[in-house]
């Protein structure tokens, strides 16, 4: 069974606007070495759009959790074809990881392991559209557009239309 944002109250564009405002206010204090890195795939879309709308030079980074998942046997390879691409020196950078949904924390753990394979950042921060709780690891986002609890068996995923607009899809088992 699948529902779109209209049925459950997730307006992905409104959440993007909230997160963008939070990050716009915080960005200057992060310093000149701050870099956006989107977690594949939803977070990468959000980071790319932020990067473009802010007019930042170069490209944002993309990071995949595939190689460091602790649940590989259950999940297999991620459906996303995005691979890690960090077009900057990670050493000494302030890395702002961007994701669509923070849930158990396992993706974030895998992403941080992947990030440290590329160097030692000065700071790692996290921005997410939705924090749905149910943490299995002690992680928290620095910036969150919305906190919303959902049933454990519910999957919340971000989609991007051809014209770059975001929508959320909610799937219940």
pLDDT tens digit sequence for 19-45: 999 999 999 999 999 999 999 989 999
Rg (CA), the chain: 15
Kindly state whether residue 75 falls inside one of the protein's structural domains.
no
pLDDT over 70 (residue 88): yes
DSSP label at 68? G
Kindly state whether residue 87 falls inside one of the protein's structural domains.
yes
Give the per-residue pLDDT at 3: 34
pLDDT over 50 (residue 126): yes
Share of the chain above pLDDT 90, in %: 82
What global pTM score does this model have? 0.90
Kindly state whether residue 64 falls inside one of the protein's structural domains.
yes
User: What is the domain-level CATH number for residue 164?
Assistant: 3.40.50.2020
Kindly state whether residue 74 falls inside one of the protein's structural domains.
no
- Convert the pLDDT of each residue in 50-82 to its tens digit: 999 999 999 999 999 988 867 655 555 555 568
Kindly state whether residue 25 falls inside one of the protein's structural domains.
yes
Indicate the SS3 state at residue 139. coil
pLDDT over 60 (residue 130): yes
Give the per-residue pLDDT at 47: 98
Kindly state whether residue 9 falls inside one of the protein's structural domains.
yes
Domain count, the chain: 1
Give, in degrees to the nearest 5, the angle at Cα 63 between 140 and 26: 50
Sequence-ordered list of residues with C-beta below 8 angstroms from that of 7, at least 6 positions apart, any chain:
170
Kindly state whether residue 76 falls inside one of the protein's structural domains.
no
Give the separation between CA 143 and CA 25, rounded to whole angstroms.
11
Range of the domain at 155: 2-69+81-172
The DSSP secondary structure of the chain, one letter per residue, reads -EEEHHHHT--HHHHHHHHHHHHHHHHHHH-TTEEEEEETTHHHHHHHHHHHHHT-SS--EEE--GGG-S-HHHH-S-S-----B--S--TT-EEEEEEEEESSSHHHHHHHHHHHHS---SEEEEEEEEE----SSS---SEEEEE----TTEEEEEEE-TTS-EEEEEEE-
Give the per-residue pLDDT at 4: 37
The mean pLDDT of 102-124, rounded to a whole number, is 96
Kindly state whether residue 37 falls inside one of the protein's structural domains.
yes
């Amino acid at each position: 069974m699948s529902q779109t944002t209209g049925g459950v109250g997730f307006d992905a564009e409104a959440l993007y606007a909230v997160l963008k405002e939070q990050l716009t206010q915080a960005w200057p204090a992060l310093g000149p070495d701050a870099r956006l890195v989107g977690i594949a795939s939803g977070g990468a879309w959000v980071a790319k759009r932020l990067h473009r709308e802010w007019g930042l030079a170069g490209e944002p980074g993309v990071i995949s959790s595939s190689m460091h998942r602790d649940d590989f046997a259950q999940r297999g390879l991620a459906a996303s074809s995005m691979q890690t691409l960090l077009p900057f020196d990670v050493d000494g950078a302030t890395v702002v990881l961007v994701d669509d949904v923070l849930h158990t924390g396992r993706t974030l753990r895998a992403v941080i392991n992947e990030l440290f394979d590329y160097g030692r950042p000065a700071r790692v921060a996290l921005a997410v559209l939705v924090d749905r709780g149910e943490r299995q690891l002690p992680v928290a986002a620095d910036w969150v557009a919305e906190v919303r609890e959902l049933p454990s068996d519910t999957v919340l995923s971000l989609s991007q239309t051809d014209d770059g607009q975001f929508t959320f899809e909610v799937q219940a088992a």
